[in-house]
Amino acid sequence: MTSGPNASAPGALAAVRPLAIICGGGDFPIALAQAAIAAGRAPFLVGLVGSADERIEAFPHLWLRLGEVGKFFAALAERGVAEVVAVGFVKRPELADLRIDFGAVKRLPALAALFGGGDNQLLAGIAKLLENEGLALVGVHDVAPQLVAPSGALTRRAPSAAALADAKLGAAAIAALSPFDVGQAVIVAKGRVLAVEAAEGTDSMLARIAELRASGRIALKGRAGVLVKTPKRDQEMRLDMPAVGLQTIDAAARADLEGVALAAGKVLVIDRDACAKAADQAGLFLHGMAL
């Protein structure tokens, strides 16, 4: 018995285009790997030691320390990977944390240049480095468009006019901070910016507002405030897209916000159905703004 042309012959294997997923922390890499499989791709998960979750081991994977550049490129070449996507929270390394292999030494000037400034510079540098090796850096929205926020309401509840005005104010504040390569999220209530995200991350910022409200330092009654999440202006969208997930919705509910406003097409929403359901249960709106 011989196998037909559509079974596991070399030709059929080549048709399943492999995709390397550089994995930072959190749920997003796992969700993306599942979405890639659903889209007929063969994901190869490259977990950054110290950042990525152990659950990547459920998929074909490789653990990598920052600086193991030669090992990375060799592993991708071996598997015929031509496309790379990166997702998840990465701890920003100090130079002392790097494990410099020979492949890194060869590229040292380009690598050293990565560590001079803010996130945008770091990420744009990584994109260029990959392209120099003949690898295409793709965005999550290319691989799994269903993971990106659509336009309009995702929930039963829609934002009030006041909440929409707060959302626009927040988006403008994020844009004003863009040259400083800071956060991608703010919390606004009644025309006032209550919190600006920088190194702490969105969930920690939301927890702060919950605490400030509980202690009376912020005196808002009932449901109030909007979490606004948009990319920075000129953000390298193929890396470090802002993202929300179930824990963002939970944290927003604990902060007693009115809702969450996302830049449509520019923010990842991991497990959209679960997020919408959790938001509905908590009475929050989840809304994609056209920006």
- Least separation in angstroms between residue 171's CB and a second copy is 11
From CA 249, how far away is CA 203, in angstroms rounded? 9
Q: How far is CA 155 from the centre of its chain?
A: 21
Judged by beta carbon, residue 96 or residue 290, the one nearer a second copy is 96
User: From the CB of 216, what's the least distance to a second copy, in Å?
Assistant: 7
Cβ closest to a second copy, residue 174 vs residue 282: 174
Q: Which is nearer to a second copy, 18 or 170 (CB)?
A: 170
Tokens of 122: 């770091």
Smallest distance, a second copy to C-beta of residue 272, A: 27
Pick 183 or 245: Cβ nearer a second copy? 183
Strand partners, 243: 268
Q: How far apart are CA 217 and CA 154, in angstroms?
A: 32
Residues that bind a second copy (CB under 8 A): 91-94, 96-97, 116-119, 169, 172-173, 176-177, 179-183, 186-187, 191-201, 204, 208-209, 212, 216-221
Looking at beta carbons only, is 51 or 155 nearer to a second copy?
A: 51
Provide the minimum distance between the beta carbon of 231 and a second copy in the complex, in angstroms, as a whole number.
Answer: 16
What residues are paired with 259 via a beta bridge?
A: 226, 285
**Amino acid identity, position 227:** L
DSSP state of 261: E
Rounded CA separation 47/181 (Å): 25
CB of 196 to a second copy, least distance (A): 4
Q: Is the Cβ–Cβ distance between 91 and 122 less than 8 Å?
A: no
- Residue 51 CB, nearest approach to a second copy (Å): 11
Which residue number, 131 or 200, has a Cβ lying nearer to a second copy? Answer: 200
Long-range CB pairs of 58-64, under 8 A, 24+ apart, other chains included: 58/30, 59/33
Alpha carbons 99 and 291: distance in angstroms, whole number:
41
Buried b (16+ CB within 10 A) or exposed e, 268-279: bbbbbeebbebb
Q: Which of residues 151 and 178 has its CB atom nearest to a second copy in the complex?
A: 178
- Give min distance, CB of 58 to a second copy, in A: 25
Query: What is the C-alpha end-to-end distance of the chain, expressed in Å?
Result: 58
